[in-house]
Amino acid sequence: MSSVPSVRRRPARPLLAALTALLAAVALVAPPGPARAADPLLSQGRPTTASSTENAGTPASNATDGNAGTRWSSAFADPQWIQVDLGATATVSRVSLTWEGAYARAYQVQTSTDGTTWTTVFSTTNGDGGTDDLTVNGTGRYVRMYGTARATGYGYSLWEFQVYGSTGTGGGCDTATNAAQGRPATASSTENAGTPASAAVDGNPGTRWASAAADPQWLRIDLGSVRTVCRVVLSWEAAYARSYQIQTSTDGTTWTTVFGTTTGDGGTDPVTVNGTGRYLRVYGTARGTGYGYSLWEVTVNTTGGGTVPGGGPLGPNVITFDPSMSAASIQSQLDAVFRTQESNQFGTQRYALMFKPGDYSGINAQIGFYTSIMGLGRNPGDVRIHGDVTVDAGWFGGNATQNFWRSASNMRVYPSAGFTRWAVSQAAPFRRMDIQGDLNLAPNGYGWASGGYIADSRVTGVVQPYSQQQWYTRDSNVGGYLNAVWNVTNSGVVGAPATSFPNPPYTTLAQTPVSRDVPYLYVDGAGAYQVFVPSTRTNASGASWLGGSTPGTSIPLSQFYVAKPGDSAATINSALAQGLNLLFTPGVYAVDRTIAVNRPGTVVLGIGYPTLVPQNGVVPMTVADVDGVRLAGLLFDAGAVNSPVLLQVGPAGSSARHTADPTSVQDVFFRIGGAHAGKATTSLVVNTDDALIDHIWAWRGDHGTGIGWTVNTADTGLIVNGDNVTALGLFVEHYQKHEVIWNGENGRTIFFQNELPYDPPNAAAWTNGSRVGYAAFKVADTVTSFEGWGMGSYCYFNVDPTIAAYHSFEAPTRAGVRFHDLLTVSLGGNGSITHVINDTGATAQGTATVPVNVVSYP
């Protein structure tokens, strides 16, 4: 409420009562025990939720942000709760509650292993505010404060909610598991490129870290989560430490020494320690030789078992090819996958076809459903296909409008007939491809195709849309275009024709304002898997790799949890909480709780169309309001019980700025119905500022299993609440209300393709106030700045062709809200769209399927 100050103070108690309470507190508080001194803070920065919030400025996350000047406050009612997810089951020893003036008279502290069944570990009915520092004894992944009686007329309000404890089980020292192996390691220096810090934790006793020849030097290991360390084994090379310390830290900044010596003699040092921390450091202060410090291996043992391991095999549905293999052998495997996937539109099989660097001749890789073909080179020219990578539509009578869910990336193709055929519709990205010839986007026989996406690619010949209805290309190089049907949009494409919409219908932006390429797998010179994370580009033009390697950073696969079908969401969350990134291998994943991506810079990458199906109406994935998260290559498939959201980027009320390192959602697709009856109110909600949406297809199914107006229900495909959000390539179709709602300021959309829902039973069932139908793309009335280019919307009301939708685009009419090159189409005269945007534009109608165009608005 606007009349309530942002900080409220409770009235001062009488002096005598205050002194009495102070003396009682002094008399009763015992010196902190060993557990309190040793146990680390587990709750800071962890996902935090609450029963309610007073307003957007007092979210639950404020109570665990480590900032004593921000707070959570609830609605003015009883009961209320605030809950923190520690990421893994912990033994909780201490909870500290720092109350604002609106405190709890009666409350409980509770723990839970599943977030559903709770155990009370502390309870009081005479709380008096201030700071409650509680010694408790409980076990759980989730800890909550459950308030049952407020002390004031306001809600409950906490400056900080701190939980201390240990993730170890106390079950003895696990000397069989090396918690350091494969973990991120850094050092004060390295002797040369052949002796990196990572060599001391790679499990190979023949590789080593070596430092510069100076004192002091250190080697630091990130264990991924707070661990109780019980033993460290140092395997010294001849250049050993005379004096060194072993130190632990919870934050990588403040260090505690758990072992020290000034009489080191090299060899192998097995050291028993007792320390707690996420980070472990070997800190050398005096060398035993004239060289630097050198370690073959560092082994770290912890209490309660090892961490979730990173790296490992990619599973049976990832098929890897090597140039040493015969063309016949490769072709046989490609054909076997294609036979399975050619018409397998709603099946459960998923495949990734990966080619190691080198030359491959005489093959034709035909790509079916849920199949990704990719090169494993650092750049497209590292994998050279002298043959074909093909998508056609023979399975569907030459009609490519259902050629969904497939991809090609990171290879050079020398096509056998001078052109590559890529006849697709939605959700079929073509990234980092180098086509030495023409690119034909239509099926054999020139049947229909319904839109696609190219990024960071080169076509030395001509892009040939033929019957392709609409297309978006960004940050690429082409030899030209043959034609355009309804909407061909380019941004940052060297060789693209100038804007001439609507005749011919080209929309061209010389540069893409902000973009980045998708993370991708490659093999390094030693044959090990790495994930390359490309840098963000501003005002980009042309492919990122043509002037040299794409700028960015590499992350070894050992820093990824390699998820496989059957893995639980709890295991995946534990891996994320350790600090691992996440690689989903091909398959279908049942998600029974929210996968929470909370660490800045986390990469979540799918290969071969991994499909996440929420169970019992959960939200399958959320992303915190942090810098630089990369989500790519995922398919969210709504479950039988309605989920409120399938992917939420940033909690409600997110306000941090991420201009330098935005979070991105790339090649992420959503499906409601088709494979089974599914329900989800909204597919994607973006609350984070500065986010980048780079190619999504959000689809409420119009065919397949579980299809019907009251069966596969879904209101909206995309809601953008964040400011300064950029969308490149939006495909959103068939939702039952607004397909896209844009509430954020300073938004940009380059290319939008939409079909309104096919199946409203009649106009009355699809009425928004006094108007028939919902606009496909609605910019909120409060927005003062937005710009969109190349945006089309179509109708095909096959249940009731008499429906006349009022318009496809709705926006406030003001100078800062601008649209360029809009179109509407009635497909075969099945219904009509009266206006294009607001009350502007003629009616799209009639069997001729002719677009109605608006070149600029207002």
Among the listed residues 689, 728, 220, the one whose alpha carbon sits nearest the alpha carbon of residue 454: 728
Question: Is residue 635 very low, low, confident or very high in pLDDT (cuts 50, 70, 90)?
Answer: very high
Q: Position 319: which residue type? A: I
**Active site annotation includes 787:** no
Q: What is the pLDDT, as a whole number, of residue 32?
A: 32
Least confident of 162-166, 487-491, 645-649: 162-166
Residue 764 DSSP SS3? helix
Q: What is the pLDDT, as a whole number, of residue 304?
A: 59
- Read off the pLDDT of each residue in 544-567 and give the average, rounded to a whole number: 94
Q: What is the pLDDT, as a whole number, of residue 524?
A: 93
Q: What is the pLDDT, as a whole number, of residue 17?
A: 35
Long-range CB contact pairs, 112-117, < 8 A, 24+:
112/140, 112/141, 112/142, 112/143, 112/144, 113/89, 113/139, 113/140, 113/141, 113/142, 114/141, 114/142, 115/83, 115/85, 115/141, 115/142, 115/593
Residue 261 pLDDT more than 50?
yes
- Read off the pLDDT of each residue in 806-816 and give the average, rounded to a whole number: 98
Spell out the residues 6+ positions from residue 821 whose beta carbon is closer than 8 angstroms to its own. Answer: 487, 489, 499, 501, 502, 505, 507, 789, 790, 791, 853, 854, 855, 856
Going by the DSSP 8-state scheme, the letter that residue 449 receives in this structure is B
Among the listed residues 855, 834, 854, the one whose alpha carbon sits nearest the alpha carbon of residue 843: 834
State both tokens at 46. Answer: 């962890």
- Read off the pLDDT of each residue in 229-233 and give the average, rounded to a whole number: 93
| Contact in structure between 584 and 571 (CB atoms under 8 Å) | no
Among the listed residues 349, 354, 356, 357, the one whose alpha carbon sits nearest the alpha carbon of residue 333: 354
- Read off the pLDDT of each residue in 738-754 and give the average, rounded to a whole number: 98
Q: Round to whole Å and give the CA distance between 485 and 507.
A: 12
Q: What is the pLDDT, as a whole number, of residue 6?
A: 28
Least confident of 63-67, 467-471, 711-715: 63-67
- Read off the pLDDT of each residue in 80-94 and give the average, rounded to a whole number: 85
Beta bridge partners of residue 257, listed in sequence order = 247
Q: What is the pLDDT, as a whole number, of residue 66?
A: 78
- Read off the pLDDT of each residue in 288-297 and give the average, rounded to a whole number: 97
Chain segment 4-63, per-residue pLDDT in tens: 222 222 223 233 333 333 333 333 333 333 233 346 678 877 789 999 999 988 999 899
Among the listed residues 121, 92, 97, the one whose alpha carbon sits nearest the alpha carbon of residue 109: 121
Q: What is the pLDDT, as a whole number, of residue 34?
A: 29
List phi, psi (to 5°) of 145.
-100, 125
Chain segment 308-335, per-residue pLDDT in tens: 778 889 999 999 999 999 999 999 999 9
Long-range CB contact pairs, 416-419, < 8 A, 24+:
416/364, 416/386, 416/387, 416/388, 417/388, 418/461, 419/461, 419/464
Among the listed residues 596, 722, 656, 602, the one whose alpha carbon sits nearest the alpha carbon of residue 48: 596
Residue 159 pLDDT more than 50?
yes
Q: Position 652: which residue type? A: A
Please give the share of the chain, as a percent, with pLDDT higher than 70. 94
38: enclosing H helix or E strand? helix 34-38
Q: What is the pLDDT, as a whole number, of residue 165?
A: 79
- Annotated active-site residue in 54, 160, 342, 755: 755
Q: What is the pLDDT, as a whole number, of residue 680?
A: 98
Among the listed residues 440, 491, 483, 448, the one whose alpha carbon sits nearest the alpha carbon of residue 468: 448
Residue 671 pLDDT more than 50?
yes
Among the listed residues 760, 702, 705, 693, the one whose alpha carbon sits nearest the alpha carbon of residue 731: 693
Claim: this prediction has a pTM higher than 0.75: no
Q: What is the pLDDT, as a whole number, of residue 464?
A: 97
Q: Position 839: which residue type? A: D
Q: What is the pLDDT, as a whole number, of residue 1?
A: 30
| Contact in structure between 684 and 650 (CB atoms under 8 Å) | no
Q: What is the pLDDT, as a whole number, of residue 853?
A: 98
Question: Is residue 69 very low, low, confident or very high in pLDDT (cuts 50, 70, 90)?
Answer: confident
Going by the DSSP 8-state scheme, the letter that residue 61 receives in this structure is G
Q: What is the chain's mean pLDDT, rounded?
A: 92
Q: Round to whole Å and give the CA distance between 355 and 391.
A: 18
Question: Is residue 306 very low, low, confident or very high in pLDDT (cuts 50, 70, 90)?
Answer: very low
Chain segment 108-140, per-residue pLDDT in tens: 999 987 788 888 999 999 999 999 989 988 888
Chain segment 409-420, per-residue pLDDT in tens: 999 999 999 999
Spell out the residues 6+ positions from residue 388 whose beta carbon is closer than 8 angstroms to its own. Answer: 363, 364, 365, 413, 415, 416, 417, 420, 421
Among the listed residues 181, 297, 302, the one whose alpha carbon sits nearest the alpha carbon of residue 234: 297
- Read off the pLDDT of each residue in 601-609 and give the average, rounded to a whole number: 97
State both tokens at 809. Answer: 């685009």
- Read off the pLDDT of each residue in 478-504 and give the average, rounded to a whole number: 98
Question: Is residue 733 very low, low, confident or very high in pLDDT (cuts 50, 70, 90)?
Answer: very high
Residue 516 DSSP SS3? coil
Q: Is the dihedral of CA 27, 31, 35, 38 positive or negative?
A: positive
What percent helix, strand, coil does the chain show, rounded to 5?
10, 45, 45
